[in-house]
Chains A and B, each alone.
Chain A
Amino acid sequence: MSLDAVVPRPAAPAVLPRSGGLRGVLSDLLWRRPGLLLLLMLAPPLLWLGIVYVGSLFALLLQSFFSIDEFSGLINRQFTLKTYGDLFQATNLDIILRTVTMAALVTLASAVIAFPIAYYAARYARGRWKALFYLGIMLPLWSSYLVKVYAWKLILAKEGILTWLFDKLHLSWLLDAWLSLPIVGGNSLSVSFTGTFIVFVYVWLPFMILPVQAALERVPGNLVEASSDLGASPGQTFRNVLFPLALPGIVAGSIFTFSLTLGDYIIPQIIGTSRLFIGQAVYAQQGTAGNIPLAAAFTVVPIVIMGFYLWGAKRMGAFDAL
């Protein structure tokens, strides 16, 4: 064994000189002033998000207080609440009510479908199956949104696979009866609220499964056993133990399903009736009508609704499950 490699040379200095050039100076400076380093790291992202994003949100808010000159179609850049007043016209209130109702129904259905998947993934899936479940939820989540909508256009088309399936099962009468109902019915599923509803549920479902699964993962398994040990039926165990514990997860998931439904304008445009949702109204106002102020005022509606929703969700402790 040789000690040569590690025995120190007696003459070696205890403090080494600064390495030459700009790098040495800069490196020492940033080490001595950690606040400066932090500032340098934070400045680019904060400037970007602050100017591009927050700036745009303020521009949006500002626009909503402008109005449009009804004769020239030009935007009048003067402060007014007139545009907000326009929101309360019957047709616009109709749009808001329709959208909120749809969002609520979609959220409810997503929760019902998501629960068994999340429950199975959290409680029974192990090892390889767990990974498979995870991918099974992540892949549809990350798949192309438009392709998913397109797939349902194929499925719900009058000549599509669903009609064919009902026919093969000799259940065409059931489909026809449903389509002849007012409001939910229509010429075919792809031009009915039922179709819009199905596609919304499909597209947002993964956003519900993940938080519910995360909430259920945190429930100790022995709690469920304790409940059945104490003589509770499976139904009682679900009602009194599982559901309350999963509730923060469901609320967290509902933030996504609710908010995403409120803001979407593509799904009802492609699959649905000609009656508008908030998103479509925004799109139409800024595009063909050129009425950016009214479009801006319309987007404030989902922001306000989501504000109340988040406030309620926070009180239920839903943010821990995100």
Chain B
Amino acid sequence: MRSDRGQSAPFSLKLAAACGLLFLHLPILLIFVYAFTTEEKSFVWPPPGFTAQWFAVTWNRPDVWQALSLSVRVAAISTLIALILGTLCSAAVSRSKFFGRETVSLLVILPIALPGIITGIALRSAFALTDIPFSFWTIVLGHATFCVVVVYNNAVARFRRTSGSMIEASMDLGADGFQTFRHVVLPNIATALLAGGMLAFALSFDEVIVTTFTAGQQQTLPIWMLEELIRPRQRPVTNVVAMVVVLVTLLPILFAYYLTRDGDQIAGSGK
């Protein structure tokens, strides 16, 4: 629809679109207000008063720090594994047309296309069948599996825009396979990988459904929050944590958007 340049939209359409966007954003903004409320026992609106004291209270909570630390470690390791697996897979798929190429793409996308509960219960029953006890690594196993797809999507989009004759040019100029990868391929896909890594981190940092099946008694930050949601005990601390989580996930997404803004789109439908 390129020919509508300069034509303005009917008022009713503008109104509907604006309302839709407000519907998407206002609830998240509300979190920021609640983080400062003086009320501790209920979710009363409007807040009776404002205070910054809950930030200090949250800061001194060891359980929050432990959960945060576990989440960051899981996300970092999962992102690293996803980066390696996703890059290899996208390079193979973009490099050559081989039999079963479509199947590989499908296999990468499947863990995110099926509802998280299926991935979760599948891993859970596999652990049960093979008597693997829950640990840090069982969480990572699940997270890395569904993080591969975001790295893969970003890298494939970049490979598609990278001219194949560049690799030939590098080899023609005397660079062997390793040098070509180091000096030509890697610099060209670096920002796409960075963006994919950011999104994988955000995805892992926030994941709760699969994690509940693979974590056992361990608490990641989302699981800590989930407990608070089911049995609210420290509402003000939860409010602060929620706000911090919004900010922490926002930054990588904005940065990933900035890195890939011309050309590729960040693979949103992959979430």
Contacts and interface: CB of A to CB of B under 8 A. Distances in A.
Interface of A: 16, 19, 23-24, 26-28, 30-31, 34, 37-38, 41-42, 44-46, 48-50, 52-57, 59-60, 62-63, 113-114, 116-117, 119-124, 126, 131, 133-155, 157, 159-161, 163-164, 202, 205-207, 209-211, 216-217, 219-222, 224-225, 234, 256, 259-260, 262-266, 269-270, 279, 282-283, 286, 292, 295-296, 299, 302-303, 306, 322
A266 B1 CA distance: 39
A137 B20 CA distance: 10
A48 to B, nearest CB: 6
Given A49-B148, A60-B122, A219-B1, A136 B25 contact: yes
B25 A45 contact: no
Nearest to B85: A45
Given A53-B122, A59-B130, 7 more contacts: A23-B178, A34-B96, A45-B86, A53-B110, A120-B14, A138-B268, A263-B115
B177 A265 contact: no
Contacts, number: 292
B42 A157 contact: yes
Contacts of A50: 107
B4 A221 contact: yes
A45 B208 CA distance: 24
A57 to B, nearest CB: 5
Nearest to B265: A134
Contacts of A221: 1-4
Contact of A148 (B28, B111, B254): B28
Contacts of A211: 269
Interface stretch (B57-65, B157-165, B188-196, B243-251): B243-251
Contacts of A57: 118, 122
Interface in B149-190: 174, 176-178
A283 B212 contact: yes
B141 interface: yes
6 contacts: A45-B85, A59-B129, A138-B257, A147-B246, A283-B117, A286-B124
B126 A44 contact: no
A219 B110 CA distance: 29
Nearest to A255: B113
Contact of B268 (A24, A141, A145): A141
A146 B229 contact: yes
Pairs of residues from A and B, 6 with the lowest C-beta to C-beta distance, nearest first: A263-B115, A116-B16, A221-B3, A56-B122, A120-B17, A59-B126
B233 interface: no
A217 B111 contact: no
A225 B44 CA distance: 51
B107 A54 contact: yes
A268 to B, nearest CB: 12
